[in-house]
Homo-oligomer: A and B are copies of this chain.
């Protein structure tokens, strides 16, 4: 049998401990599949004494992840510390410089430094892989980078933050306000230390930027992701979108256009009968559209010890088998810098507003839309509540700039009680 593949694991939270457990408990299975034993030789974490539910006494301990990453008895540096900079980045760079291969779950680090790290890995002849950074246990990085590599990718979209989907699902199912559902997710430990990473769409935006790089052969451009969180989504929107046959999801969408790379992470409406519309709770879903394959939908757990450790192990076994694929699916030096598209692809929009009880109010609103060249697909006015009448409008396909023009004109009519909610309806 060949030499064992030796892992050095930095970061022993739930995922790191999960990886250690798999390596210990599935030694024979892994050796069969990888064609050689996979072992842990050294580990590193902030707190040596914490009980992690698994024995670490067989492994060398390093307080310093950089020291771990460069040990002679480590072939693969497994980075599970997190954080876009600091120790994670320093240790990853050190590992690459020392000719080690790297497996990471760190979406923030790759969203900010992916191009530089991929280039460094390429120059050093190292492999840098990150299946666990996107959509947890779903092997979507592999599908996009390898399985669908014969396709011109047309669009990648999906629900990539389970916490946001949990909050939206609870608002809908239990009639909670955003604040109540947020508090519930917090109590369950679903939120990042900085919750804005979740509910602000930043974490999901990181993931989207990595998928886009592979899909379109471009340098990671996280700064080009148009980010909008779920904090503005109200229970009224969820209910009334439901009345019109839609669900509201924090949806990431990436597509290449003549205007540049479009990357959006924002609450959108999707048909309730679509696979994305039917996604509930913390589950993730990624949809890949290719010119040959059509639409591929992948669904699974987006987080958690087992699913994330599964993704880490997929990368580890690849390396053990001798598979060496470029970080973003082609030589980092061949990835094109790309400008963000200034405007989004036209789409239908959902509008919700409260109209004052005045004669001709609805006509004024409709006129604003018509003047901006926007036609109305469906409109509903509900009974008056407190002097105002809720009105829902689904437009036909329009540009966001035409919509903004119409919204500005509506504000000048004096019949719209507060700023209308406008949500994109994504084709899925």
Contacts and interface: CB of A to CB of B under 8 A. Distances in A.
Q: How many copies does the complex hold?
A: 2
Interface stretch (A136-144, A232-240, A244-252): A136-144
Contact of A317 (B26, B150, B278): B150
The 7 A-B pairs of least Cβ separation, nearest first, read: A150-B313, A139-B147, A137-B293, A292-B306, A293-B310, A292-B310, A297-B299
A300 B292 contact: no
A33 interface: yes
Contacts of A384: none
A325 interface: yes
A290 B152 CA distance: 31
Given A148-B314, A322-B323, 19 more contacts: A29-B152, A30-B149, A32-B330, A32-B331, A33-B329, A139-B143, A139-B296, A142-B147, A143-B143, A146-B314, A149-B313, A149-B314, A150-B313, A293-B307, A293-B311, A294-B306, A298-B299, A321-B323, A321-B325
A138 B329 CA distance: 19
Dominant secondary structure at the A interface? mixed
A301 interface: yes
Interface residues of A, number: 59
A22 interface: yes
Contacts of A295: 300-301
Contact of A326 (B18, B35, B142, B299): B35
Contact of A294 (B292, B294, B301): B301
A131 B147 contact: yes
